[in-house]
């Protein structure tokens, strides 16, 4: 990526960020826009439709739980975040849009109306993190079991889960029981 090209992009992103009260970050040659939740739809819409950007594709959407992150507080002001990865096929650029959501009632407007691919991505983020997408046409669980309780990718959800299942001979059906495995850490987390 040439510097001139990068500066041009920077200017365009700065302009759109100013308009929607967002901040621009450039790290590892990737642009990140951090936007307040009430402006996220307007920002994404202009990223999709504005001739400077033309992000026709929502490549990825995921939830993040910053609960135990070392930068929680100053760098990451809220517990949850939704991260959008956009790709422009015509301009050959990428951008990341981050919106932080509070611990109680993490709700954000859906982007299914902007990109059809958001449908399952949002269902997944709801399933795994409990982030709610207002206006989503079909916000059901996607990856976890039928009747699953909890949101497993939250940091306070244990790696080994809460329940295990087995076939019970007497009852003649599969039953759920509290997990019998002890959680253990094989390699401790080290920050250097």
Partner 1 sequence: MTEIRNYTMNFGPQHPAAHGVLRLIMEMDGEVVERIDPHIGLLHRATEKLAESKPYNHSIGYMDRLDYVSMMCNEHAYVLAIEKLLGVQVPIRAQYIRVMFSEITRIRNHLLWIAAHGLDIGAMAVFLYAFREREDLCDVYEATSGARLHAAYFRPGGVYRDLPEKMPRYASSKVHSDDEIHAKNMNREGSVLDFIESFVERFPACVDEYENLLTDNRIWKQRTVDIAVVSPERALQLGFTGPMLRGSGFAWDLRRKQPYEVYPELKFDIPVGATGDCYDRYLVRMEEMRQSNHIIKQCVDWLKDNPGSVMLDDHKLTPPSRESMKDDMESLIHHFKLFTEGYSTPPGQVYQAVEAPKGEFGIYIISDGANKPYRLKVRAPGFAHLAALDEMARGHMLSDVVAIIGTQDIVFGEVDR
**For partner 1, which is the closer residue by CB, 174 or 185?**
185
**For partner 1, which is the closer residue by CB, 116 or 163?**
116
Q: Closest approach of Cβ 64 to partner 1, in Å?
A: 5
User: Do the beta carbons of residue 82 and residue 57 sit within 8 Å?
Assistant: no
> What are the residues binding partner 1 (CB under 8 A)?
27-28, 30, 32, 56-60, 62, 64-65, 68-71, 83, 85, 87, 89, 92, 94, 96, 115-117, 119-121, 141-145, 152-153, 159, 185-192
Q: Closest approach of Cβ 159 to partner 1, in Å?
A: 5
- 3-class DSSP state of 150: coil
Pairing of β 30-34 and β 93-101: parallel
User: Do the beta carbons of residue 30 and residue 10 sit within 8 Å?
Assistant: no
**How far is 45 from 49, CA to CA, in rounded Å?**
6
Q: Closest approach of Cβ 89 to partner 1, in Å?
A: 5
**For partner 1, which is the closer residue by CB, 42 or 59?**
59
The two tokens of residue 172 are 């003649």
Q: Which residues lie closer than 8 Å to 61 by C-beta, 6 or more apart?
A: 82, 83, 84, 85, 111, 118, 121, 122, 125
**For partner 1, which is the closer residue by CB, 171 or 189?**
189
Q: Closest approach of Cβ 7 to partner 1, in Å?
A: 19
Among 48, 74, 46, 70, which residue's Cα sits nearest to residue 59? 48
- DSSP label at residue 146: T
Q: Closest approach of Cβ 114 to partner 1, in Å?
A: 9
The two tokens of residue 20 are 């929607």
**For partner 1, which is the closer residue by CB, 29 or 134?**
29
């Amino acid at each position: 990526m040439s510097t001139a090209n990068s500066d041009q992009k920077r200017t365009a992103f700065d302009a759109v960020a100013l308009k929607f009260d967002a901040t621009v970050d450039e790290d590892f040659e990737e642009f990140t826009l951090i936007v307040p939740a009430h402006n996220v739809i307007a920002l994404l819409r202009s990223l999709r439709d504005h001739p400077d950007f033309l992000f026709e594709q929502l490549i990825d959407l995921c939830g993040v739980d910053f609960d135990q992150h070392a930068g929680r507080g100053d760098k990451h002001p809220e517990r949850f975040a939704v991260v959008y990865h956009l790709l422009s096929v015509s301009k050959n650029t990428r951008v990341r849009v981050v919106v932080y959501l509070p611990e109680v009632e993490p709700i954000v407007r859906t982007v299914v109306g902007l990109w059809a691919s958001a449908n399952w991505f949002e269902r997944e983020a709801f399933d795994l993190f409990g982030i709610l997408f207002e206006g989503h046409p079909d916000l059901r669980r996607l990856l976890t079991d039928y009747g699953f309780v909890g949101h497993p990718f939250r940091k306070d959800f244990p790696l080994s889960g809460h329940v295990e299942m087995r076939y019970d001979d007497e009852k003649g059906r599969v039953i759920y029981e509290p997990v019998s495995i002890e959680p253990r850490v094989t390699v401790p987390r080290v920050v250097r």
